[in-house]
Amino acid sequence: MIIDVNEIPREGLHIDQDFDFIGLDLVEEDAVFLEPTHAVVEIRKIGAEVLVKGRITTRLSFTCSRCLRPFEFNVDSAFDLVYLPEELDELKEELEEEDLERFFYYHQQLDLRAVILEQLNLSFPFRPLCSEDCEGLCPVCGEVINQGRCACEFRSVDPRLGNLKFFLREKK
């Protein structure tokens, strides 16, 4: 959805709609959308600045990075952004430090779909987990530890002492 910056009315724009994205659009490539992304966005123009304030909600299915099982992830993210015209992008050296945290629109247009997709990607966890206390998979048999302890016996050896183990075997 392309917004022409010159056609934003004085009272601003109110957008309340669903956006359909596919998993390939996301930074988390194995994510599956369980519902469309709903966005409520207010867009105002003050001078050359375009203020974009909104909230996105959706539900996705992720794969837990520890136990490799799918789980639902709810997104409810608010954002408040300021866009400047592209001419100021060329003058970055002259901008104040606070202006460097702002974004730029080009050719007097703002791609709202791209803004929402970016905010959606920023709302994802670095490592998706089904729960904070997920113990993952057994390193011996591969069973999910959360579902009950497996019968495997696993002793971790400090790698610094690994050579000592071989030395003691030779002494016997």
Q: Taking the CB of residue 37, how many other CB atoms lie within 10 A of it? A: 21
Same structural domain for residues 139 and 149? yes
Same structural domain for residues 98 and 152? no
Same structural domain for residues 98 and 171? no
Same structural domain for residues 77 and 150? no
Same structural domain for residues 44 and 6? yes
Residues of the chain with pLDDT below 70 are: 23-24, 88-101, 149, 153-157, 162, 165-172
Same structural domain for residues 18 and 80? yes
φ, ψ (nearest 5 deg) of residue 143: -75, 155
How far is Cα 143 from Cα 104, in angstroms, rounded to an integer?
Answer: 49
Report pTM: 0.72
Number of domains in the chain: 2
Residue 151 structural domain: 135-172
Residue pair 60/33 in contact by the 8 Å Cβ criterion: yes
Per residue in 91-136, pLDDT tens?
Answer: 555 555 555 567 787 888 888 888 998 899 888 888 899 888 888 8
Please count the CA atoms within 13 angstroms of the CA of 100 that sit on its side-chain side: 6
